[in-house]
Amino acid sequence: MPKLLFMVGSLRAASASRAMAKSMAERLENDAEVSFAEIGSLPHYNADTLDDPHVSALIAAIGAADGVVFVTPEYNYSIPGVLKNAIDWASRPAYNSVFLSKPCFAISVSGGALGGVRAQSHLKYMLNGMLALVFPSLEVVVPFANDKTSNGRITDEAVLTFGAARLAEFVAFLRRQAS
Protein backbone atom coordinates (compact mmCIF):
# COMPACT_ATOMS: atom_id res chain seq x y z
CA MET A 1 0.00 0.00 0.00
CA PRO A 2 1.26 3.50 -0.75
CA LYS A 3 2.39 5.54 2.23
CA LEU A 4 0.80 8.98 2.47
CA LEU A 5 1.97 11.73 4.78
CA PHE A 6 -0.68 14.35 5.57
CA MET A 7 0.66 17.80 6.38
CA VAL A 8 -2.01 20.02 7.91
CA GLY A 9 -1.42 23.75 7.78
CA SER A 10 -3.32 24.57 10.97
CA LEU A 11 -2.20 23.81 14.51
CA ARG A 12 -5.66 24.22 16.02
CA ALA A 13 -7.02 20.85 17.15
CA ALA A 14 -10.55 21.72 16.03
CA SER A 15 -9.59 23.31 12.72
CA ALA A 16 -11.56 22.62 9.56
CA SER A 17 -8.27 21.74 7.83
CA ARG A 18 -7.56 19.03 10.39
CA ALA A 19 -11.20 17.86 10.07
CA MET A 20 -10.80 17.55 6.29
CA ALA A 21 -7.48 15.72 6.65
CA LYS A 22 -8.97 13.24 9.13
CA SER A 23 -12.04 12.73 6.96
CA MET A 24 -9.91 12.06 3.88
CA ALA A 25 -7.55 9.77 5.79
CA GLU A 26 -10.51 7.70 6.96
CA ARG A 27 -11.73 7.34 3.38
CA LEU A 28 -8.28 6.02 2.40
CA GLU A 29 -7.80 3.54 5.23
CA ASN A 30 -8.14 0.49 2.95
CA ASP A 31 -6.07 1.95 0.10
CA ALA A 32 -3.10 3.67 1.72
CA GLU A 33 -1.04 3.76 4.88
CA VAL A 34 -1.62 7.22 6.36
CA SER A 35 0.42 9.23 8.85
CA PHE A 36 0.39 12.87 9.92
CA ALA A 37 3.36 15.25 10.06
CA GLU A 38 3.83 17.22 13.26
CA ILE A 39 4.86 20.72 12.21
CA GLY A 40 3.98 22.71 15.34
CA SER A 41 7.20 21.95 17.20
CA LEU A 42 9.56 23.01 14.42
CA PRO A 43 11.79 25.97 15.25
CA HIS A 44 11.57 29.06 13.07
CA TYR A 45 13.60 28.46 9.94
CA ASN A 46 17.22 29.47 10.44
CA ALA A 47 19.97 28.04 8.26
CA ASP A 48 22.35 28.35 11.23
CA THR A 49 20.30 25.78 13.17
CA LEU A 50 21.74 22.34 12.55
CA ASP A 51 20.60 18.90 13.63
CA ASP A 52 17.26 19.83 15.19
CA PRO A 53 15.44 16.56 16.01
CA HIS A 54 12.02 17.93 14.98
CA VAL A 55 13.38 18.99 11.60
CA SER A 56 15.12 15.63 11.15
CA ALA A 57 11.87 13.81 12.00
CA LEU A 58 9.90 15.86 9.45
CA ILE A 59 12.44 15.28 6.70
CA ALA A 60 12.52 11.55 7.49
CA ALA A 61 8.72 11.35 7.41
CA ILE A 62 8.56 13.10 4.03
CA GLY A 63 11.33 10.86 2.71
CA ALA A 64 9.54 7.69 3.87
CA ALA A 65 6.25 8.72 2.26
CA ASP A 66 5.33 7.80 -1.28
CA GLY A 67 3.31 11.01 -1.45
CA VAL A 68 2.49 14.07 0.64
CA VAL A 69 -1.05 15.40 1.01
CA PHE A 70 -1.21 19.04 2.08
CA VAL A 71 -4.42 20.29 3.68
CA THR A 72 -4.16 24.01 4.21
CA PRO A 73 -6.39 26.81 5.36
CA GLU A 74 -6.09 30.20 3.73
CA TYR A 75 -4.66 32.96 5.89
CA ASN A 76 -4.51 36.43 4.33
CA TYR A 77 -4.77 35.00 0.80
CA SER A 78 -1.96 32.48 1.29
CA ILE A 79 -0.80 29.52 3.37
CA PRO A 80 -0.22 29.82 7.12
CA GLY A 81 3.25 30.73 8.35
CA VAL A 82 3.60 27.43 10.23
CA LEU A 83 3.16 25.48 6.98
CA LYS A 84 5.57 27.76 5.12
CA ASN A 85 8.09 27.23 7.92
CA ALA A 86 7.80 23.43 7.59
CA ILE A 87 8.22 23.66 3.83
CA ASP A 88 11.25 25.93 4.23
CA TRP A 89 12.94 23.41 6.55
CA ALA A 90 12.24 20.45 4.28
CA SER A 91 13.22 22.28 1.08
CA ARG A 92 16.93 22.29 1.88
CA PRO A 93 19.30 21.80 0.17
CA ALA A 94 17.71 23.79 -2.62
CA TYR A 95 16.73 21.77 -5.72
CA ASN A 96 17.97 18.58 -4.05
CA SER A 97 15.76 18.29 -0.99
CA VAL A 98 13.49 15.50 0.16
CA PHE A 99 10.82 17.15 -2.01
CA LEU A 100 12.75 16.56 -5.24
CA SER A 101 10.29 14.63 -7.47
CA LYS A 102 8.11 13.85 -4.42
CA PRO A 103 4.47 13.44 -5.49
CA CYS A 104 2.31 16.01 -3.69
CA PHE A 105 -1.42 16.66 -3.54
CA ALA A 106 -3.05 19.89 -2.32
CA ILE A 107 -6.38 20.46 -0.61
CA SER A 108 -7.47 23.87 0.64
CA VAL A 109 -10.06 24.82 3.22
CA SER A 110 -11.59 28.18 4.04
CA GLY A 111 -14.39 29.73 6.02
CA GLY A 112 -15.13 31.85 2.95
CA ALA A 113 -16.73 31.24 -0.41
CA LEU A 114 -13.53 30.52 -2.37
CA GLY A 115 -12.41 27.54 -0.34
CA GLY A 116 -8.80 28.64 -0.07
CA VAL A 117 -8.01 28.62 -3.80
CA ARG A 118 -5.45 31.40 -3.39
CA ALA A 119 -3.61 29.46 -0.68
CA GLN A 120 -3.70 26.35 -2.85
CA SER A 121 -2.27 28.30 -5.77
CA HIS A 122 0.57 29.66 -3.62
CA LEU A 123 1.28 26.20 -2.22
CA LYS A 124 1.50 24.64 -5.68
CA TYR A 125 3.76 27.48 -6.83
CA MET A 126 6.16 26.78 -3.93
CA LEU A 127 6.09 23.03 -4.50
CA ASN A 128 6.87 23.51 -8.19
CA GLY A 129 9.76 25.78 -7.20
CA MET A 130 11.20 22.96 -5.07
CA LEU A 131 10.88 20.54 -7.99
CA ALA A 132 8.23 18.49 -6.22
CA LEU A 133 5.82 16.61 -8.44
CA VAL A 134 2.49 18.39 -7.99
CA PHE A 135 -0.25 15.94 -8.94
CA PRO A 136 -2.41 17.41 -11.71
CA SER A 137 -6.02 17.13 -10.64
CA LEU A 138 -9.27 18.96 -10.31
CA GLU A 139 -8.78 21.19 -7.28
CA VAL A 140 -10.18 20.02 -3.97
CA VAL A 141 -11.44 23.07 -2.11
CA VAL A 142 -13.74 23.28 0.89
CA PRO A 143 -15.65 26.58 1.01
CA PHE A 144 -17.59 27.62 4.11
CA ALA A 145 -15.68 24.86 5.90
CA ASN A 146 -16.59 25.94 9.43
CA ASP A 147 -20.25 25.29 8.60
CA LYS A 148 -19.35 21.81 7.30
CA THR A 149 -17.42 20.63 10.35
CA SER A 150 -18.78 18.61 13.24
CA ASN A 151 -17.01 16.44 15.82
CA GLY A 152 -13.65 16.94 14.15
CA ARG A 153 -14.77 15.82 10.69
CA ILE A 154 -16.14 17.41 7.54
CA THR A 155 -19.80 16.50 7.16
CA ASP A 156 -20.56 17.65 3.59
CA GLU A 157 -20.95 14.43 1.61
CA ALA A 158 -20.47 16.13 -1.78
CA VAL A 159 -17.13 17.57 -0.65
CA LEU A 160 -16.05 14.25 0.84
CA THR A 161 -17.01 12.24 -2.23
CA PHE A 162 -15.27 14.66 -4.59
CA GLY A 163 -12.13 14.86 -2.43
CA ALA A 164 -11.95 11.09 -1.94
CA ALA A 165 -12.24 10.52 -5.70
CA ARG A 166 -9.35 12.91 -6.40
CA LEU A 167 -7.24 11.27 -3.68
CA ALA A 168 -8.06 7.84 -5.13
CA GLU A 169 -6.59 9.10 -8.43
CA PHE A 170 -3.48 10.22 -6.54
CA VAL A 171 -3.13 6.83 -4.83
CA ALA A 172 -3.57 5.06 -8.20
CA PHE A 173 -0.82 7.28 -9.61
CA LEU A 174 1.47 6.35 -6.70
CA ARG A 175 0.80 2.67 -7.32
CA ARG A 176 1.73 3.06 -10.99
CA GLN A 177 4.91 4.88 -9.99
CA ALA A 178 5.88 2.02 -7.68
CA SER A 179 5.40 -0.70 -10.30
pLDDT, tens digit (0-9, with 9 covering 90-100), for 77-91: 999 999 999 999 999
| Distance separating alpha carbons of residues 28 and 159, to the nearest angstrom | 15
pLDDT at site 177: 94
The proportion of the chain whose per-residue pLDDT surpasses 70, expressed as a percent, equals: 100
Q: Distance between CA atoms of 52 and 44, rounded to whole angstroms?
A: 11
**Number of domains comprising the chain:** 1
What is the rounded distance in angstroms from the CA atom of residue 71 to the CA atom of residue 83?
10
pLDDT given at position 6: 98
State if pTM tops 0.85. Answer: yes
Parent domain of 65: 3-178
167: domain CATH number is 3.40.50.360
As a whole number of angstroms, the distance between CA 55 and CA 51 comes to: 8
Mean model confidence pLDDT for the chain: 97
Instruction: Kindly report the backbone phi and psi dihedral angles of residue 72, in degrees, each rounded to the nearest multiple of 5, phi listed first.
Output: -125, 140
67 φ, ψ (degrees, to nearest 5): -155, 155
CB 21 within 8 A of CB 160: no
Interval 48-71 mean pLDDT: 97
